[in-house]
Structure 1
Amino acid sequence: MDGLPARTRLYVACAAVGALCCLIPLRTDRTSWWPVLLLAALYACGERVARRRFAGTLYPVLLAGAFLLPASAAALVPLPGALLSPVGRRPVALRRGWRAARLVIGVWAASRTHEALGGRDAVRASDSPALILPAAAAVLVLCLVLAVLDGGTVAPAEGLPPRRARHRLFLRSLAPVGVHGLAGLMMAVLWHSPYGPVAALLVLFPMAVSWWVFAQYHRERAAHQATIRALVQAVDIKDGYTRGHGERVGQASMMIARELGMDEGRVEVIRFAGILHDVGKLGVPTRLLRKDGPLTAEERRVIELHPEYGHEITRGISFLGEARSAILHHHERLDGSGYPYGLVGSQIPEPARVVAVADAFDAMTSTRSYSRARPVRAALEELRRCAGAHFDPRMVTALTRVIDREGWHPVVTADEPGLPVQTSAPSPDPVPERPGARR
């Protein structure tokens, strides 16, 4: 929110005024303050951990407060945690105020909805059938209020229509907040049970475990991506004429795999194979990769070792799985004319047949030092001509279908100024043996 326009600051100020109105007690009966203080302290402590470790919000505690307390008291639960939570960017006070205001209004609205539908009485009586509807309605209202409020800041920042931004935010929050709502409902029911508040707090333990597992998964995935990016950058630096080639081959391989109906786990592995298919070039002398002239027979044999080098380089990367077979065999051809082993037909692993088609397609639709890019349609026609001899017809048909439907819009994040870059869109040979070779 640095350099916020006056309009946005006014919007946040209005939200803060609305939050203050929600905190005004709407009833004259006396409220027991110890549940409010306990839930507020729990939320304040848990929120710091949740944001730092899991980048999340402790919605179960907020919803438990909405199910247990009057609306104005429930609205106090998120206030200390939101005002004291760490903020990474300036203006700090405005960001904290906005975070507190949106949560206060959301929890107040959820609590009012829950109480209006008889939810508090059902929680006290532990009446299972009557618990569900008020709790579900409260979760929906919380998601809706937060989406409406956040949409007012997200829409201008992202240049989206407010209605579209709010709709997207609402759908995105519905599933996770719904799960947290079940945990909050369990806390509220146990709170009034003979086991008391201590048992209610134990509900947070499995939630914390699930958050930890989820965070570990994302850390592992980020580590995988970092490993892949480091290898790709190393290849791109060594062989600048094919910069971005791996990412485009990965994208085309993913499109083929999805068109063939593969599950998402295998699609991801095949995408990795496409990105890293040329990683073996790290073992090829740079002078050969950049040689400005025809290759000798001996030099060609050295170049043709790169699939085996790539297979060895990725040997210790366990998450690649069958991607390693694609790295090793992506230059094999159905008629046995490929390398390194001259495999024929179904002897070639399926991921390698996918990557072979994606590799040839990008080679033909990219400008290099020795060839100009062909149009996409001409490249697809060349692939169809070579299907059955060089390429698996299923893979060629899948790529043709998906490009006819979605087009070819490669996204390359590796391109940087000052380095030789391929341009997407013909090579006289559908499968160039190496970049930089003049034919």
Structure 2
Amino acid sequence: MRRIPGAARGYILCAVVGAGSCALPAVRPGADTPWTTVALLAGLYALCEAPGRCPFLGRMLGGSVPVGAGSFFPVLLAAALLLPPAGAALAAVPGALLARVEQRPGGVRRVWRAARLSLAAGAASGAAALCGGPAALAAPALPYALVPACAAALTFCLVVAALDGGILATAERVPVRAAWRGLLPGSLGPHLVHGLAGLMTAVLWRSPYGPPAALFVLLPMYISCWVFAQYHREQGAHRSTIRALVQAVDIKDRYTRGHSERVGRASVLIARELGMDEDRLEVLRFAGILHDVGKLGVPTRVLRKDGPLTQEERRVIELHPEYGHEIVRGIGFLGEARAAILHHHERLDGSGYPYGLAGRQIPEVARVVAVADAFDAMTSTRSYSRARPVPTAVEELKRCAGTQFDPRMVRALVRALDRHGWETAVTADEPAVPPRPLLGRAALPAQPKGAPAAGSHGGRGGAARHRRGG
């Protein structure tokens, strides 16, 4: 289980206390809380979320059971229109605690989600009340109810985005300037649609037919959630495709086993420091993971050769970016990652391969992967070279900045290492050495005199070339 940073624990505790304060007025003596409506809406939301944790329903629907608290926000927005703030805050709790959790620690994530949704539902109810929500629902003309419904949806979206940005900054250690970027624009449209569905539920709830009529809103909700689940299944298939390609490379080139995953991780660290959007972070991760997929087209005897490479063998190795680009050319979801696979061995001074691009001619994603690739090559122990300490590798990257690497990418990696640290690893089929310390701590003994430089290629020093093409 990954350790939760202290700042994140404090942030979650503050959210829980805030949610409790929001819900507290509902249980005070003399409070006129409509407990029947609270219980029905809380049960309805919990019923919507519960199938995501039911293996039987998952098998019946081919693994496409709607999951995620965001799938059923219309129920919470209906609660915001029908209940006072304290009641709406309470209605969100059971379903949030029951919803499926994909990552550990599950208990903490459920508590955080319950607090987050409770605060958002309470704030949305307050906004709807300020816009005359109860009176608008009772009005004969439906358009009057659009104002409180939109106010509730907008407030709900703002609170969720604000809280999500804070947890990214504290738990994931995303830079503060980038933590909230894109959260509000990306969720505003869906939340407004959820607000309309919540309005439909609330209107039917207040109609002469009563709460049972509101259940009819569940059908289109479940259809939309099923479509959303299909999208996630497609994303899962994408990840499986990538894993299969990486495993094939690892099997063929045992000297760099695990290298691809670490380059993907380092690429994301750099991209986050540069403030790239979340969509591009995923592209950079794919690019880092698949940057050496072209090794599948290189003869195994060349990849596994222990001695120096001949000129001919070096030329064969230098074809692997083009081989990789051909392999992934038809995989549409990779997007910019294909350019990174093709150009990650280009150099800023134009002396790289395969096309000798220079400066800004090299795609930005390729410049990111180039730095991540060289860094991991230098800090990983392989059969033909020992790892360099992290500070030594960083100094080598700085020395080559401006000629081989984009200085902006190097600076971003240095900031990310200062923030997160880095643990190097053994990538060859040999016993592991003790874990490497994080940046800034005591480094390992220096590389033995006469040993080939990690990341060298054919005698060119430092990070100039990777001996095995990656």
| TM-score of the pair, normalised by structure 1 | 0.61
User: What is the correspondence of 1:364-375 to structure 2 with a 5 Å cutoff?
Assistant: 364-375=378-389
User: Matches of residues 23-422 of structure 1 in structure 2 within 5 Å?
Assistant: 51=53, 52=58, 53-55=65-67, 183=197, 186-193=200-207, 200-400=214-414, 402-403=415-416, 405-410=418-423
- Say if 2:377 and 2:466, in contact at 8 Å, map to a contact too: no
Question: Are positions 1:430 and 2:442 aligned together?
Answer: no
Instruction: Please tell me the residue identity of whatever aligns with 1:403.
Output: A
Instruction: Give the drift of 1:357.
Output: 1.2
CA–CA distance in structure 2, aligned partners of residues 273 and 375 of structure 1 = 25
Alpha-carbon separation, structure 1, partners of 2:273 and 2:408: 10
- Cα deviations across residues 108-128 of structure 1 (Å, max 9, x unaligned)? xx9xx99xxxx9999667896
Q: CA deviation at 1:359?
A: 1.0
Letter in 1 for 2:251: I
Assess if the C-alpha contact under 8 Å between 1:368 and 1:422 holds in 2: no
The range that moved more, 42-51 or 322-331, is 42-51
Alpha-carbon distance change, 208 to 410 in structure 1, aligned in 2, over 3 angstroms: farther
Q: Which has the larger radius of gyration?
A: 1
Q: Equivalents in 1 of 2:401, 2:82: separation in Å? A: 67
Kindly state the Cα deviation for residue 306 of structure 1 after the two structures are TM-superposed.
0.8
Local SS of the residue matching 1:357: helix
> 1:189 and 1:264, CA in 2 relative to 1: closer, same or farther beyond 3 A?
same
1:192 partner letter = R
How far has the Cα of 1:212 moved from its partner? 2.6
Contact preservation (8 Å) 2:271, 2:368 = yes
Task: Give the distance between the partners of 1:67 and 1:387, measured in 2 at CA.
Answer: 57
| Bigger RCO (CA 8 Å, 6+ sep) | 1
**C-alpha deviations, 1:384-415, integer Å up to 9, x for none?**
11112111122122222x23531433598x98
Letter in 2 for 1:354: V
Unaligned stretches of 5+ residues in structure 2? 1-26, 28-34, 59-64, 84-90, 101-113, 127-132, 161-187, 437-442, 444-452, 455-460
**Unaligned 5+ runs, structure 1:** 1-21, 23-30, 70-76, 88-101, 144-174
Q: Distance in 1 between matches of 2:277 and 2:80?
A: 40
Q: Do the aligned partners of 2:379 and 2:424 also contact (CA within 8 Å) in 1?
A: no
User: Could you tell me whether the CA contact under 8 Å between 1:415 and 1:421 is conserved in 2?
Assistant: no
Map Cα deviations across residues 185-217 of structure 1 (whole Å, 9 max, x no partner): 642332333676676334324422442343233
Asked if structure 2 preserves the Cα contact closer than 8 Å seen for 1:249 and 1:358, the reply is yes
Deviations 1:208-254 (A, max 9, x none): 24423432332222222222111111111211221111111111111
SS in structure 2 at match of 1:54: coil
* Aligned-pair CA distance for 1:327: 0.6
CA contact (8 A) 1:244 1:422 kept: no
Q: Identity, % of aligned pairs?
A: 66
Say if 1:276 and 1:123 are closer, same or farther in 2 by CA, change over 3 A: same
Residue by residue over 1:265-289, the C-alpha shift from the partner in whole angstroms, topping out at 9 and shown as x without a partner, is 1121122111111111111111111
Report SS of the residue matched to 2:282: helix
Label 1:333 to 1:186 Cα distance change in 2 as closer, same or farther (>3 A).
same
Deviation for aligned residue 1:62: 8.9
Closer, same or farther: CA 404–63 of 1 in aligned 2, 3 Å: closer
Pick closer, same or farther for the CA change 1:50–1:416 going to 2, 3 Å: farther
> CA offsets, 1:292-350, max 9 Å, x none?
11111111111111111111111121111111111111111122221112222222222
TM-score after normalising by structure 2: 0.58
CA distance in 1, matches of 2:298, 2:432: 19
Match of 2:180 in 1: none
Structure 1 position 177, deviation (Å): 11
Three-state SS of the structure 2 residue aligned to 1:295 is: coil
Deviation at 1:41, TM superposition (A): 11
Closer, same or farther: CA 421–306 of 1 in aligned 2, 3 Å: farther
Mark the CA change 1:218 to 1:431 in structure 2 (over 3 Å): closer, same or farther.
Answer: farther
Report the CA distance shift for 1:357/1:46 in structure 2 as closer, same or farther (over 3 A).
closer
| 2:66–2:222 contact (8 Å) kept in structure 1 | no
